[in-house]
Amino acid sequence: MIGMMYLVLTALLAMNISKDVLNAFVQINRGLGRTSDVLTAKAQATLDGLANYPEKEKAAPFLAKAQDVDKLGNELIDYIELLKARVMACSMSGNPEPDDATIAQFQTDMGGKKVAIALQAKDADGKLIITKLDENQNNTTLLIGPDPRNPHDKAWSAVELKNKLIAYRDALKATKVTNISGQEISLGADIIASLDSAFTFNDELDPDGLVEKWETNKFFHTPLAAVIATMSKIETDVLNAKTSVMSYYAASINATDMKFSDITAAAVPLNGFVLRGGEYKMEVYLAAFNKTSNTKLYVSGSYDGETPPTMQAGGRPGGSPVATSGPDGKCIYTTSVGSMSIGPHGYTGYIGYMKDGQEMFVPWVAPPFYVGEPSLVVSPVNMMVLYRNIPNPVEIAVPGVPKGDVRVSCSNGSLSGPDGSGVYQVTPGSGGECDISVSATVNGQGVSMPPRKFKVKNLPTPIPRFGGITPMVSKATAGELGAPAVLASFPEDFVFQGLKADVTGFELIIMKSGGIPVVSQHGGSNVPGDKRSAMGSLKKGDRVAFTEIKCSLSDGRTITLPNLTVTVK
C-alpha cells in the first residue's frame, strides 16, 4: 500500500506541490522506515536460526552464505543512508557540493538510526529536522547534473546508485551453496524472477509522455521529500531481496532430503478382473509420502501375462519421466490400451525422489490388468431359441478373458468354432432344449460359468407362392395364373437368411364352372406349359388349387405346405 501511495504521489509532482503533498511523502517515508525495521529483524532472526540449528555441520555452509548476503545488503544500505545525508545537506545548505562538516550534520552513526525528514520544528525521535522539503535544484545538481538526457556518473550520483543496485542484484543471483554432500544449490527461478523485477531500471515516461532515463525520471527536479522517500523505497527493496535470499538458503538445508509428511492406506488389487465365483486378492499396507516432494515416475517396460516380472533394486530408468507428482504428492500415469491384445498386461518402472541432492530410484511393478473388448450382454429370456438340425451362429465371450482362455460345450447337439470373430456354430439335435456351458481360465485357475438354456424348435413352415398368389390371396385374374413354377420361402422377418426351401412336387386342380375338375400330379416345382395355357383361358368364377405341395428344408425334413386356392375374378 505504501508503494502504491508513493507511485501516485510521484505523479503529482508535475502539479503544484502543496504542503499536504509534501507531508504525504513524509508519512510514506516513515512507513517505509517501519517496513525496513521489520525486514532487518527478519534477517537477524534468520541468522540466529541458522546459528542455533541442531545439525550445525549441516547448517554451516548455509549460515556462511547467509552472513555473506547479510553483509552485502548492509553495505548497500549504508551507502544509501550516506547518499540521503548528502542530498539533505545539498538542499538545506543551498550548495550542490557541501563540505564534509555540513554533510556530517546530516549523517548518523549507523547504529540503527536513520536520517529523518519532517515538517515540524522538532522531530519526536530527536533526529535532525529537514524543513526545505520542496527544494529540488541542488539535489538535482548532485544526482543528475545539468543535462537530464545524459545524467553524470560522478560519485554520489543517481547513475552510481543504479550501478550499485545492479551489481547487488547480480551478486545475489550468482550466490550458491555447496552442502555437506557436495551438492550445489542455487537460487530458485521464483527468487531470480523477483530480483529481476525489483531491480529493473528501464526508461520511463515523464508527465508529458516523453521517454527519459530511470535516473532522470526519479530524481530530476524532484522535491527533497520525494527524493528521500524514493531512496527509502529502494532501501526496502534491498532489504527485502536480502531477507528473501537468506530465507531461501535457510529453507534449503534439508531441501535435498526426502521427507514423509503424510501416510495413507494403499490398497493394490492383485487381479484386475474377477468372475463371479472366482477369488479376489489385494495387498493393503501403510504408505508414507510427501505432498510437497517433487517425485518423478518412469515407465521402463511392459509385460504380457498374469505373472509380473521381478525388478531388482539399484537399477536406473532410461528415458524421461512420464509424470511428476501433483499437489497431492502422487504421480498419475495414463496411457491408451487401444493397440494392446486382449488379455493380461502390466507395467514396470521406477519412481525417483531427491535425497541429499541426488535423485534416488525405487523400482515398482504394477499388478496385471486385463484388456477386453467392450461388451454388452442382453438376454431376451423368452426368445432364447435355437433351430433344430441347422448351424446356429452364437457369439460367446467372457469380458476381460482372452478368447483362447474360453472353452465352450453344449448338450443335445454339436458345436464348432470359434471363428476369428469368436462366433460358434451350434447345431441342436432332436431334443426340446440345449444347454451351452462356458468355462474360462482366470488368474491361472479354471472357472465354470452357469449354463445357459435354449429352447430348440423346428424351422418355421415356408410360405408357398405361385406368382403373386399366396395362401392369403383368394382371387386373381386369369392373366396372373401364368407363373412358371410353384415356389416356397421363409417369412421375410425370419432371422436366418439363405436357408433351403425347395418345392419337390404338387397336385394341380383346375375347376371350370359346371365342369368336371381336372386333377394332375407334378414332380418338382415347374408347371407344364399346357396347364399354364389352360389356366390362362379360365373365366370369371373358375377356380384353381395347388394342393399336396411338398417342400425340402435345410434341416433335412420334407414337409407339406398349405394349399394355394384362388378364384378367377
DSSP string, 358-386: EEEEEEEEPPPEEE---------GGG-EE
Question: Domain-by-domain residue ranges, the chain?
Answer: 2-10+18-251, 262-371, 381-457, 463-568
**CA–CA gap between residue 483 and residue 469 (Å, rounded):** 10
Instruction: Supply 12's cell numbers.
Output: 503529482
Higher pLDDT among residues 264 and 179, named by residue: 179
Q: Is the pLDDT of residue 224 over 90?
A: no
The mean of the pLDDT values for the chain is 81
Do 53 and 27 meet the contact criterion of CB atoms below 8 Å apart? Answer: no
Sequence-ordered list of residues with C-beta below 8 angstroms from that of 39, at least 6 positions apart, any chain? 236, 239, 240, 242, 243
**CA–CA gap between residue 294 and residue 328 (Å, rounded):** 11
**CA–CA gap between residue 492 and residue 495 (Å, rounded):** 9
Q: What is this structure's pTM? A: 0.44
Q: What is the per-residue pLDDT across 334-380, written as a single tens digit (0 to 9) for each?
A: 888 777 777 778 888 888 877 655 677 888 888 887 776 655 555 56
Q: Is the pLDDT of residue 138 over 70?
A: yes
Domain 381-457 = CATH 2.60.40.10: yes
Q: Per the omega criterion (within 30 degrees of 0), is the bond before 418 cis?
A: yes
Sequence-ordered list of residues with C-beta below 8 angstroms from that of 547, at least 6 positions apart, any chain? 506, 507, 509, 563
State mean pLDDT over 525-536: 90
Q: Which amino acid is at 366?
A: A
Percent of the residues in the chain that have a pLDDT greater than 90, as a whole number:
30
2 pLDDT tier (thresholds 50, 70, 90):
very low
Paired sense of beta strands 296-304 and 282-289, if any: unpaired
> H-type helices in 94-145, by residue range?
100-105, 137-143
State mean pLDDT over 49-75: 92
Instruction: Supply 135's cell numbers.
Output: 527544494
